[in-house]
Amino acid sequence: MLKIGLIGDIHGNLEALEAVLEYLSTKQKVDKIVVLGDIVGYMANPNECVELVKDYDCIQGNHDSTVVYGEDLDWFNPVAKEALIWTINELTDKNKNILRDFPLTKIYREEDFTISHGTLNSPEKFLYMDRSFEARESFDLMETQLLFIGHTHVPQYFISNGDNSFADIEMVSDIDYKREIQLQKGKKYIFNIGSVGQPRDHNYKSCFVIYDTDRKTIKYVRLPYKVKITARKVKKNRLPKFLYKRILVGM
Ligand SMILES: [Fe+2]
């Protein structure tokens, strides 16, 4: 019997993270907080964000992995790459070691869910999932009823009614924030929980999920935060200008 807050893609956005943690602990009184990776990269407070989440259950995202190992920088677009180089210089060795110790996936058998930053197949490759056919392999590999992912920064979810065939997988992209999703026995679900620190669905508000293991419900939440302060820090720290525009409108 647990109320679990699932958050991810924080990307060094301290104002968003503080607002979300405050909401989950005081308003929702969750029993547990789980972090789905990309704690750093893009915004100006990577150290503070690592220090705030380090005692929760965390997994690595692709940005966390890159700042730790310094590899794959050329995989990123020029804006992300520039912000990652800034982050590598900014992060303390202590916080890099904390990120290094996070696993890529984690299974919670009792609560019947798994977490991964991207797809469950080849989690070390951080593959995106935003179409039904990309969900199929993950459904095949799931040992739990639920899988929570992030990475695209766009909330959506997939439902498999049984055999995980392409035709069997339903994709839902228009999230109803007023309603809870009631989980049904015999079905499997993959929830992309959206992004706390850099949403890309034209809504600047932080996005995350609450899973009630007792009532078997999922709730998507949008929460406003002091986004102008975050944007000003982008300028002050000479991070790429595009990040300033992007954060204000959620793109
Ligand atoms: Fe991300």
**Percent of the chain scored above 70 by pLDDT?**
98
Query: For residue 151, is pLDDT > 70?
Result: yes
CA–CA gap between residue 25 and residue 33 (Å, rounded) = 9
**Model-level pTM?**
0.96
Kindly report, residue by residue over 212-234, the tens digit of the pLDDT: 999 999 999 999 999 999 999 99
Q: Please state, as a whole number, how many other Cβ atoms lie within 10 Å of the Cβ of residue 48.
A: 15
Compute, in angstroms, the gap from residue 186 CA to the centroid of ligand 1: 31
Compute, in angstroms, the gap from residue 237 CA to the centroid of ligand 1: 20
> Which residues place a Cβ less than 5 A from the ion ligand 1?
9, 38
244, 43 contact by CB (below 8 A): no
Compute, in angstroms, the gap from residue 26 CA to the centroid of ligand 1: 26
Kindly report, residue by residue over 118-149, the tens digit of the pLDDT: 999 999 999 999 999 899 999 999 999 999 99
Length of the chain counted residue by residue: 251
Domains of the chain and any CATH numbers: 3-249 (3.60.21.10)
Compute, in angstroms, the gap from residue 152 CA to the centroid of ligand 1: 7
Beta pairing, strands 3-7 & 32-35: parallel
* Mean pLDDT value of segment 9-37: 98
